[in-house]
Amino acid sequence: MSIDSRDFEYLRDFLMKSSGLVVKPEKEYLLKSRLEPLVRSKGMASISELVSKMKAPSARDLQNTVTDAMTTNESLFFRDKSPFEHLDDIMLPYLLEARKTRRKVRIWCAASSTGQEPYSVAMSLKEQAVKVAGWNFEIIGTDISKTVLAKASAGEYTQFEVQRGLPIKLLLKYFTQKGENWVLNEDIRKMVKYQEGNLLESFSNIGKFDIVFCRNVLIYFDLDTKRQVLEKIAKQMDPDSYLLLGAAETVMGVCDKFESVKGARGLYKMK
């Protein structure tokens, strides 16, 4: 059964407004496949019933659950590898020189999902312990979804998850076994702070960052939203800070505040 066209429009507009997610008409099946399990688990009869409950005045939680169900949370450790090589080879050498009077570096993972990205940053820094001794690193992970933030804070991953992108030597070094799962050791976990943050809203109280990871989230937005988000991110950066985007994302034709760093895929600086 297909979704009633008015329900589809309501859901499309709601998702656009709440998270920036674009749902094209041909992606109606995605709405169905992700919302039907939710409908069943809530004991509702149909997507229509879900939509009418979402319109109720006290439906905030239900709305969040819908946003949660529709956003893609997939992540992996050291995703695409190269951003972490850029961290070791380009960003750290530069920042260790440029920030040497304040000896502090702030790193933001916007849309950090279940934590693999900020924790990969933390492990990379730990691996460079000698070089960064005496420095203060602050890593902040933000995401729109409370569910993924809770999982990220717990730092507990399945056997499947720790086998995606994580070298075995780092698993041995930084994780402890807990039943079938693996838990990140506390010294890595406490390097990262998580907080709720919607990229569509203002984030001026979060401060300025030297490195911003904003990866694999802009792809879900339309051009205007991408531009607005990138311009807001630029305001949280110093003129010589770095920005990292996902493998399928670019600033080209989207935002003219950034230019790519030559020879480093996915890495940008402000113009």
Partner 1 sequence: MKRCLVVDDSSVIRKVARRVLEELDFEIIEAEDGQKALDQCFEDMPEAILLDWNMPVMDGLEFLMQLRSSKNGDKPKVIFCTTENDISHIAQAVQAGADEYIMKPFDREILENKFHEVGLI
Report how far apart, in Å, the C-alpha atoms of 54 and of each of 172, 255, 264 are.
Answer: 46, 34, 45
Nearer to partner 1, 197 or 266 (CB): 266
Helix (H, G, I), strand (E, B) or coil at 53: helix
In the region spanning residues 126 to 155, those forming contacts with ligand SAM, defined by CB under 6 A, are: 143-145, 148
Q: Which of 3, 31, 66, 79 binds ligand SAM (CB under 6 A)?
A: 79
Amino acid making up residue 164? R
Residue 237 sits at φ, ψ, to 5 deg, of: -120, 150
The answer to whether residue 129 forms part of the interface with partner 1 (CB under 8 A) is: no
121 and 139 Cβ atoms separated by less than 8 Å = yes
Task: Read off the DSSP letter of residue 165.
Answer: S
Nearer to partner 1, 157 or 242 (CB): 157
The answer to whether residue 82 forms part of the interface with partner 1 (CB under 8 A) is: no
- Cα 170 off chain centre by: 22
Nearer to ligand SAM, 5 or 73 (CB): 73
Q: How far is the CB of 202 from partner 1 (least distance, A)?
A: 38
Q: Select the binding partner of residue 260 from ligand SAM, partner 1, none (C-beta < 5 to 8 A, by kind).
A: none
Q: Which tokens hold the place of 132?
A: 């960064």
Contact region for ligand SAM (CB under 6 A) — 43-51, 52-60, 70-78, 95-103? 70-78
Nearer to partner 1, 79 or 257 (CB): 79
First to last CA, the chain: 51
Q: Which tokens hold the place of 30?
A: 């995605």
Q: Select the binding partner of residue 120 from partner 1, ligand SAM, none (C-beta < 5 to 8 A, by kind).
A: none
Element holding 109 (H helix, E strand): strand 104-110
Instruction: Note the residues at the interface with ligand SAM (CB under 6 A).
Output: 19-20, 71-75, 79, 111-113, 117, 143-145, 148, 197-200, 215-217, 246
